A and B are shown apart, each in its own frame.
Chain A
């Protein structure tokens, strides 16, 4: 059990996300002590430890590092999330798993049940859930202050993207997919949080056996306040608008990825007017601040026995939806590709 008001955390995985966000967030938190680093790449462990002048034991085996741990943070390639989490859960140690919780719904369910059986819990690393505008939107939907929601459109696209040290993002077996499971899973989580599970969807992507770089999805929700339609466009080859627009009877509401503290409203009754909503609490300033909120939420769940903001079962829903999308995928049309006739010229 944790002593005083701090929890002892083991970090499994010393890749780029740990180096840039998880570890700095944990090191500056007054609720967390990092007691060990785990990674199969010992050079990588030492480089990360050296960067932050961190003198803690390191090992390639998670089981060896669990003695005295109050919690484990798993930030490894997607495919290894479940096997590593099981090791901690079997020792009744709570785990914070970087998204996605697992690569399959069956695996996600198994993890959640195992945690229940062992009297411990799972939290999942969807740091965007800590964005003030995400919480504000949830409250606004529940209170109905924005009018009836008709539809939404989300798009997120960058040219290039995150480059994990291990390069697992290029390997479908290791990553479980491409842009949908990577950057898209953040929005899928938020969407389920706001609107619940969709009643139906159509999904298409541009994978030809590897990991998709672009995908599009149309969804329908039977929300208690009325039907909602939504579209999602994700890309790793094109810069897109990187925001969600939510269309209600009274407003167009925008939540930009680059402005996580603001909810921008365009009233339908007064074209040309823009209003912003925020809350009184001081906003975090950097992405690492949100990782700190996340690990502190995990630490509080350990210390106080509270439920983490994003728990295993709620994340299992996003794993399930993503899995269904991949199962029911259609090939995305790319009208710019050379057609068969033209390929014959080359042949």
Chain B
């Protein structure tokens, strides 16, 4: 056995499952899979491995399960609370148990929707902007770097979109490609930054095995820079899908992203409070139901022209929008395409000795093979 026991949080998720699968097939490493619910653990339950259901919000339970692990890999996602308070419970438990190594899966979302040129390498300063997920992940990274300062060697791995077998990203993309004209931003020339899940797992294994390079952030990406148009065409070709594209300008996507949601003022709040939906909701409380009924009776006792005048003031207009013929510009598959820069895995290769398990074309074949089994190529 190399190392001691590896504890994997989020083991039933997409990346966690791929890691467990690889560890099982490779053999030679002792590991335990920590999951939130048994309902999502079907992929890893295929193996006779140690699987434990835990509640990240229960600090004591987290401490208990971590003791005995020498490496912790965190692939957990979930609610905001699970990713903040639950995550801190993991960090505290790792610190207390003096775990030998902590590997954390971060995200390129920490650089926001429109990362600047400095994001080509890890030297760029992460600015998540309005992405809530990005802000949470950046907050997690900061906790990890503090853990490093307390003496636990930590590695922060930063993938962007993740492809490969079982990939929700790949499945969603095929669904969009089949749905009709797929919008390509500026001809689909910007890099996808989609890393194959087996290569991400390879990066995690490199971090587990490395004796140096702790306390750093590492981008995880394919070695080959691949644009969106090529990626979509390659995937469609492998699945024998007919797909068509429509041109979208990057500036239009950015304009859409910078548009702030309409503000809701005091008058709007009053209109909502007077609306039938709101009053019907509150009417489950008997006292309010009585008040509501009294108010309605008094209102109906008013002359018709006064009723009409009140209605005119408080009724909100019904907004009817045109049916979307293509994906809206703020949809993830359009938004992602507006990112212009390739995030190089050079540091990962140089310091942690990372070598991808699959090259781009091999990876696409495995992705397509799984998508076909999942019925994604069927009409």
A residues engaging B (CB < 8 A)? Answer: 155, 159-164, 167, 169-170, 172, 178-179, 206-213, 236-241, 334-338, 342-343, 345-347
Contact = CB atoms under 8 A, between A and B. Distances in A.
Nearest to A205: B46
B46 to A, nearest CB: 5
B233 to A, nearest CB: 20
B38 A169 contact: yes
A346 B46 contact: no
Contacts of B37: 163
Contacts of A212: 46
8 tightest Cβ-Cβ pairs between the two chains A and B = A163-B39, A236-B42, A213-B42, A209-B48, A336-B165, A160-B40, A336-B366, A238-B374
Interface stretch (B22-30, B132-140, B279-287): B22-30
Contacts of A160: 39-40, 42
13 contacts: A163-B40, A169-B45, A170-B45, A178-B42, A178-B45, A209-B47, A238-B374, A337-B21, A337-B366, A338-B198, A342-B357, A345-B202, A347-B28
Given A170-B41, A237-B42, A237-B43, A208 B24 contact: yes
B25 A337 contact: yes
Given A160-B42, A178-B42, A335-B369, 5 more contacts: A155-B375, A160-B40, A213-B42, A238-B374, A346-B22
Nearest to B165: A336
B375 A240 contact: yes
Contacts of B22: 338, 346
Contact of A346 (B26, B164, B367): B26
A335 B370 CA distance: 8
B51 interface: yes
Interface of B: 21-22, 24-26, 28, 37-49, 51, 53, 164-166, 198, 202, 205, 355, 357-358, 366-367, 369-370, 373-375
B49 A238 contact: no
Contacts of B40: 159-160, 163
Contacts of B53: 167
A210 B369 contact: no
Contact of B26 (A163, A237, A334, A343): A343
B48 A210 contact: yes
Which of A160, A210, A212, A336 counts the most B-chain CB atoms under 10 A from its CB? A336
Contacts of A163: 37-40
Nearest to A332: B373
Interface of A is mostly: loop
A189 to B, nearest CB: 21
B38 A336 contact: no
Contacts of A337: 21, 25, 165, 366
A239 B374 CA distance: 7
A347 B47 CA distance: 20
B358 A213 contact: no
A237 B166 contact: yes
Nearest to B28: A347
Given A161-B39, A163-B38, A237-B42, A338 B51 contact: no
B39 A162 contact: yes
A311 B116 CA distance: 67
A346 B357 contact: yes
Contacts of A336: 164-165, 366-367, 369-370, 373
A213 B164 CA distance: 18
Contacts of B355: 345
A167 B51 CA distance: 10
Nearest to A164: B38
Contacts of B358: 338, 342
A15 B165 CA distance: 33
A167 B42 contact: no
Contacts of B357: 338, 342, 345-346
Contacts of A342: 198, 357-358
A175 to B, nearest CB: 9
Nearest to B27: A347
A238 B375 contact: yes
Nearest to B52: A167
Nearest to A16: B39
